[in-house]
C-alpha cells in the first residue's frame, strides 16, 4: 500500500464524517461562498510564477516548521511577490486544517490553492466556502470521469483547477477544457525519489492552452532556469521556504534572485 493509498483511504472516512456534520447546504451559507475568486492561472502565467506553500509537516519529511504562525507566513509570501499560495488542509498527514485556509484568506489578496487529496465533490464546495480560489486534483487518485466531473464543478463555482500528473498515462486522462493549470510532480510516488526529468519529458505532451507547473524538487534558482525553456510558468515550492525561520523573507530573496 503506497502512502497515497493510505491517505485516500483515510480521507474517505474523514469526508464521510464531515458531510454529516456540515452538509453542502450549510457550506453554501458561508459568507465566502459567493465571493469572486482570484484567477490563479492568470496570476501564475503573468507574475513571478512562484506558488509558495504553507506546510507544517509531511509524511516524507515529518516536521518542517510548526513554530511560525500562519498569518506571518502568508503575509510574508504576498509581500515577497509570489503568484499564489498553496495551503495544505490535510490534518492527519500534513498538520494542516480548513481553518488554515480561512485564516490565510483573511490576510492576503492573492490566489490561494486548497491543497488536499480531493476524492469527493463535497471537498470542492468546502474549498469554496473556506475561501480558496483554486483546487488541486491529483490524477493518481481519481478516474477520468471524476477528473472531468470535479474540474467542471470547480469551474461552475468560479475556481481554477490545478491538475497534478506523474506520467504520460495520467496526462492522457487529464486534458479537459475545465482544467487551467497542469502540474507535473517530479516525485516518484513509489520510490519518493525526485527528478526534474519528469517535467522535461512531459512538457512537450502538454498543450499550450494549459499553464504548465512543475512541482517537487524545486529548491534552487538553477532548477527554475532549467525548466523555463520547457514552457513552465509555474513552480510549486513546498519546503524550501517553510524550513527557514522566516519563509516570507526567504521567498522574497529567492524571487529577487530569479529576476
Q: Which of 55, 128, 212, 233 is catalytic?
A: 55
Would residue 185 show up in a list of annotated catalytic residues for this protein? yes
249 assigned to active site: no
- Rounded CA separation 154/18 (Å): 19
Q: Quick check: is 216 catalytic? A: yes
* 167, 197 contact by CB (below 8 A): no
Choosing from 14, 43, 48, 53, the catalytic residue is 53
Which of 109, 126, 121, 137 has the alpha carbon at shortest distance from 215?
A: 137
In angstroms, the CA 180 to CA 45 distance is: 11
Active site (annotated) includes residue 215: yes
Catalytic residue among 164, 199, 239, 250: 164
DSSP 47: S
DSSP 23: -
**Choosing from 11, 115, 128, 212, which is the catalytic residue?**
115
Is 55 marked active-site? yes
- From 86, 151, 185, 250, the catalytic residue: 185
115 is an active site residue: yes
In this structure, the strands spanning 160-165 and 57-58 are: unpaired
Q: Is 53 a catalytic residue?
A: yes
Catalytic residue chosen out of the listed positions 43, 48, 216, 250 = 216
98-107 and 70-80 helices, crossing angle to 10°: 50
- Which of 78, 170, 215, 239 is catalytic? The answer is 215
Distance CA 240, CA 218 (A): 8
Q: What are phi and psi of 218, to 5 degrees?
A: -95, 90
Residues with active-site annotation: 53, 55, 115, 164, 185, 215-216
Amino acid at each position: 500500500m503506497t502512502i497515497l493509498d493510505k491517505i485516500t483511504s483515510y480521507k474517505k472516512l474523514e469526508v464521510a464524517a464531515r458531510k454529516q456534520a456540515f452538509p453542502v447546504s450549510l457550506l453554501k451559507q458561508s459568507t465566502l461562498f459567493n465571493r469572486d475568486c482570484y484567477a490563479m492561472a492568470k496570476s501564475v502565467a503573468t507574475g513571478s510564477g512562484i506558488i509558495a506553500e504553507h506546510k507544517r509537516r509531511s509524511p516524507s519529511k515529518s516536521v518542517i516548521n510548526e513554530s511560525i504562525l500562519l498569518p506571518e507566513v502568508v503575509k510574508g509570501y504576498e509581500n515577497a511577490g509570489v503568484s499564489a499560495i498553496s495551503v495544505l488542509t490535510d490534518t492527519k498527514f500534513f498538520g494542516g486544517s480548513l481553518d488554515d485556509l480561512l485564516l490565510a484568506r483573511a490576510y492576503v489578496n492573492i490566489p490561494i490553492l486548497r491543497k488536499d487529496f480531493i476524492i469527493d465533490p463535497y471537498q470542492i464546495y468546502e474549498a469554496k466556502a473556506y475561501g480558496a480560489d483554486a483546487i488541486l486534483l491529483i490524477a493518481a487518485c481519481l478516474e477520468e470521469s471524476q477528473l472531468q466531473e470535479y474540474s467542471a464543478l470547480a469551474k461552475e463555482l468560479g475556481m481554477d483547477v490545478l491538475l497534478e500528473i506523474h506520467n504520460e498515462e495520467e496526462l492522457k486522462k487529464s486534458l479537459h477544457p475545465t482544467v487551467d493549470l497542469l502540474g507535473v510532480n517530479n516525485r516518484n510516488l513509489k520510490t519518493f525519489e525526485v527528478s526534474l526529468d519528469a517535467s522535461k519529458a512531459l512538457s512537450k505532451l502538454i498543450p499550450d492552452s494549459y499553464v504548465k507547473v512543475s512541482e517537487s524538487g524545486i529548491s534552487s534558482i538553477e532548477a527554475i532556469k532549467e525548466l523555463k525553456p520547457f514552457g513552465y510558468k509555474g513552480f510549486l515550492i513546498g519546503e524550501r521556504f517553510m524550513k527557514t525561520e522566516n519563509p516570507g523573507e526567504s521567498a522574497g530573496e529567492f524571487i529577487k534572485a530569479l529576476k
